[in-house]
Amino acid sequence: MDDVDLATLTLGEDETYLEPTTMAENRDIALAMARQARRYLYVFTGDLDPALYDSAEFAEALSALARSSERAHVHILVQDSTRASKDGHRVVELAQRLSSKVRIHRPSRQYADLRETFLVADELGYLYRTVADRYEAQASFRDRKRARELTRHFEEVWQRSEPDPQLRRLSL
C-alpha cells in the first residue's frame, strides 16, 4: 500500500481497492474516512481498538461529523468495552459529551462470536478486517455495494444492541 497517497483519495469518488496490512495503514484509512464522512460513520469493533480510534485527530473528526448537521451521527458497536472504560478513551469521552449524536452500544449475545471489525462511511467507503486482532484488511473509498452490505449488517446488529452500561457517564 506504500504507493497510495491517502490524501488524494476522496470518499465516494476513488475506486482504488486497498489492502492495508499494518496498524498505521488501518489507522490512516479510518481517519481519512472519518474526516470525509458527511452523514454517518458506523464502527463495529472488538474493544474500541485504541491504536486506531483513541487519538485526538480521530475524536476531532467524529466531533466535526456529529456537529455538521442535524442528521449526522456516529454509531459504534463494541463487543468488550472493559479496556476503554478502565483506561479511558477519547471516543468514549466524546460519546459522553455528545450523547445524542455519538452512541456506543454493545451487541446482544447472539453476536458475541463475531470477530470481524469494520468501519463504514456514508454507505460509500469501508475498512474491513476479518479478524479484529490482525491488521490485514480490505478498504475502498468507493464501493457502494460492499459498503451497503456492511451497513445492513451493522444496522441488523445495532437493532439488537443496547447502550453499553460500562461507558455511561457517572455524575458525582
The answer to whether position 112 is within a domain reads yes
How many domains does one find in the chain?
1
CATH code for the domain in which residue 47 is found:
3.30.870.10
The answer to whether position 65 is within a domain reads yes
Q: Is the pLDDT of residue 59 over 80?
A: yes
Total-model pTM: 0.93
pLDDT bracket for residue 28 (50, 70, 90): very high
The answer to whether position 81 is within a domain reads yes
Distance CA 165, CA 103 (A): 12
The answer to whether position 44 is within a domain reads yes
Give the pLDDT mean for 30-46.
97
Kindly report, residue by residue over 62-112, the tens digit of the pLDDT. 999 999 999 999 999 999 999 988 888 999 999 999 999 999 999 999 998
Phi-psi region of 21 (alpha: psi -120 to 50; beta: other; left: phi over 0): alpha
The answer to whether position 63 is within a domain reads yes
pLDDT of residue 43: 98
